[in-house]
Amino acid sequence: MNSKYEPLFQTFTLPNDVELKNRIVMAPMTNFSSNEDGTVTEQEVEYYVRRASGVSMVITACTYVTPNGKGFHGEFGADRDELIPSLKQLAQAIKAEGAKAVLQIFHGGRMCPPELVPNGEVVSASAVAAEGEGHPVPRELNNQEIEDIIKAFGETTRRAVEAGFDGVEIHGANGYLIQQFFSPHSNRRDDRWGGSLEKRLSFPLAVVSEVKKAAAAAARPFIVGYRFSPEEPETPGITMADTLQLIDALSDQGLDYLHISLQDYTSVPRRGVEDTRSRLEIIQKRAGNKVPVIGVGSILTADDAIKAFQTGVPLLALGRELIMDPDWLHKIEQGKEDEIVTKILKDKQRELVVPDPLWQAIVNTPGWFPGV
Q: What is the pLDDT of residue 244?
A: 98
Neighbouring residues of 3: CB distance < 8 A, sequence distance ≥ 6: none
Q: What is the pLDDT of residue 340?
A: 98
* β partners of residue 310: none
Q: What is the DSSP string of 106-125?
A: E--GGGS-GGGSGGG--EES
Q: Does 47 qualify as catalytic in the annotation?
A: no
Tell me the CATH number of domain 3-363, given options 3.20.20.70, 3.40.50.2000, 3.40.30.10, 3.40.640.10: 3.20.20.70
CA 207 – CA 98 distance, rounded (Å): 29
CA 211 – CA 153 distance, rounded (Å): 6
CA 361 – CA 274 distance, rounded (Å): 38
Residues of the chain with pLDDT under 50: none
Q: What is the pLDDT of residue 20?
A: 98
- pLDDT tens string 250-289: 999 999 999 999 999 999 999 999 999 999 999 999 999 9
Closest by CA to 205, choosing from 252, 145, 260, 152, is 252
| Own/partner long-range contacts of 360-368 (Cβ < 8 Å, ≥24 apart) | 361/32, 362/323, 368/320
* β partners of residue 318: 26
Q: What is the pLDDT of residue 176?
A: 98
* β partners of residue 57: 25, 100
Q: Which of 176, 226, 257, 265 is catalytic?
A: 176
What kind and span of H or E run contains 304?
Answer: helix 302-309
Sign of CA dihedral 130, 135, 139, 142: negative
List Cα–Cα distances, 320 to 170, 282, 354, 364, in angstroms: 20, 24, 12, 15
Q: What is the pLDDT of residue 135?
A: 96
Report domain extents, the chain. 3-363
Q: What is the pLDDT of residue 240?
A: 97
Closest by CA to 79, choosing from 5, 160, 22, is 160
- pTM score: 0.98
Residue 93 amino acid letter: A
Q: What is the pLDDT of residue 63?
A: 98
Q: What is the pLDDT of residue 82?
A: 98
